[in-house]
Amino acid sequence: MSSKQKRFELMVGALTDDLYRYAYWLCRDPHLAEDLVQETLLRAWRFMHQLRDSKAVKAWLITTLRREHARIYERKRLDIADVDEEIVEDPQSQDVLMEVDRNKMRQQIMALEIEYREPLALQVIFGYSVKEISAALELSPSAVMTRLFRARKRVLDQFGEGLVPDELLQEGGA
């Protein structure tokens, strides 16, 4: 074994497991992580003479590994395909968009002041009538209707009328 090889073994031998763990954390693929470690060690072997501070080996190797990982994506070319102008609706994507809108709506409702949030949530989410909300919150039915009106108005002001789901726009039963 040559002196260069011994020096290399001493420098990186104990760090290969750490390098692998870091590589796996970066890419979440065990085979790619092994390739990254191997490529990092190859570069370390080639450029070992440039390392001046032997205490900086770990940082040097981690930086090299991170750059190797970035190089994978620099070299990767995505296939480009011509797509017709015609738009085809995907029912699944519509479901996803509706779910995103519902999540935004829930967030908007949760951002309301509690006096408006409670009656609106009881009506929209749980399907309570004005009478049931009035009993649950110990308010008069007219106070509940006023709060529901103001809550809907605030949500509409945020989203615009065309973006609000129908169930929010419908008035609850008496």
Is residue 131 domain-shared with residue 71, that is, in the same domain? no
Which CATH number belongs to the domain containing residue 43 in this structure? 1.10.1740.10
Domain boundary among 75, 91, 124: 75
Q: What confidence tens digit (pLDDT) does each residue in 35-87 have?
A: 999 998 888 888 877 777 777 788 888 888 888 888 887 766 666 665 555 55
Q: What confidence tens digit (pLDDT) does each residue in 154-173 have?
A: 888 776 655 555 555 555 54
Is residue 68 domain-shared with residue 115, that is, in the same domain? no
Domain boundary among 75, 97, 122: 75
Q: What angle do CA 93, 95, 100 make, to 5 degrees?
A: 95
Q: Could you tell me the pTM of the whole model?
A: 0.42
Domain assignment present for residue 98? The answer is: no
Q: Which candidate, 29, 53, 72, 4, places its Cα nearest to that of 61?
A: 53
- Look at residue 173 in the predicted model and tell me its pLDDT: 46
148/18 Cα distance (integer angstroms): 58
Contact 138, 75 (CB under 8 A): no
When pLDDT is cut at 50, 70 and 90, the band that residue 174 belongs to is very low
